Amino acid sequence: MDGRVALVTGGGSGMGRATVLAFARSGAHVVVADVDIEAGRGAAAEAGGCFVEADVSRPEDAERMVTTAVERFGRLDCAVNNAALTPDRAGIVDADLAEWHRLLAINLTGVLLCLKYELAQLRRQGGGGAIVNVGSVRSLRAKAGSPAYTAAKHGVLGLTRTAALEHASEGIRVNAVCPGAIDTPMAREARAARGESEAAMAARLSPLGRLGTAEEIAEANVWLCSPACELITGQAIVADGGYLAQ
Residues recognised as catalytic: 149
Q: Confirm or reject binding of residue 150 to ligand NAD (CB under 6 A).
A: no
Site residues for ligand NAD, 23-52, by CB under 6 A, read 34-36, 39
Per-position x/- string for 102-141, each x denoting binding to ligand NAD as judged by CB under 6 A, each - no binding: ----x---x-----------------------x-x-----
Q: Confirm or reject binding of residue 238 to ligand NAD (CB under 6 A).
A: no
The footprint of ligand NAD on this chain (CB under 6 A) covers a number of residues equal to 30
Q: Confirm or reject binding of residue 14 to ligand NAD (CB under 6 A).
A: yes
Specify which residues 34 forms β-bridges with: 53
Sign of the CA dihedral with 34 first, then 40, 41, and 46 last: negative
Q: Confirm or reject binding of residue 160 to ligand NAD (CB under 6 A).
A: no
Contacts of 101 (CB under 8 A, 6+ apart): none
Q: Give per-residue burial for 4-40: e unless 16+ CB within 10 Å, then b.
A: bbbbbbbbbbbbbbbbbbbbbebebbbbbbbbeeebb
Q: Confirm or reject binding of residue 198 to ligand NAD (CB under 6 A).
A: no
Which is closer to ligand NAD, CB of 21 or CB of 56? 56
CA distance 174 to 157: 10
Q: Confirm or reject binding of residue 181 to ligand NAD (CB under 6 A).
A: yes
Tell the smallest beta-carbon distance from residue 196 to ligand NAD (Å).
Answer: 13
**Full DSSP string of 88-114:** P-S-STT--HHHHHHHHIIIIIHHHHH
Which is closer to ligand NAD, CB of 34 or CB of 77? 34
Tell the smallest beta-carbon distance from residue 95 to ligand NAD (Å).
Answer: 18
User: Backbone dihedral region of 3: left (phi > 0), alpha (psi from -120 to 50 degrees) or beta?
Assistant: left
Site stretch for ligand NAD (CB under 6 A), options 22-30, 55-63, 119-127, 195-203:
55-63
Type and span of the H or E element at 119: helix 110-124
Task: Give the interface with ligand NAD as residue ranges (CB under 6 A).
Answer: 9-10, 12-16, 34-36, 39, 54-57, 82-85, 106, 110, 134, 136, 179, 181-182, 184-187
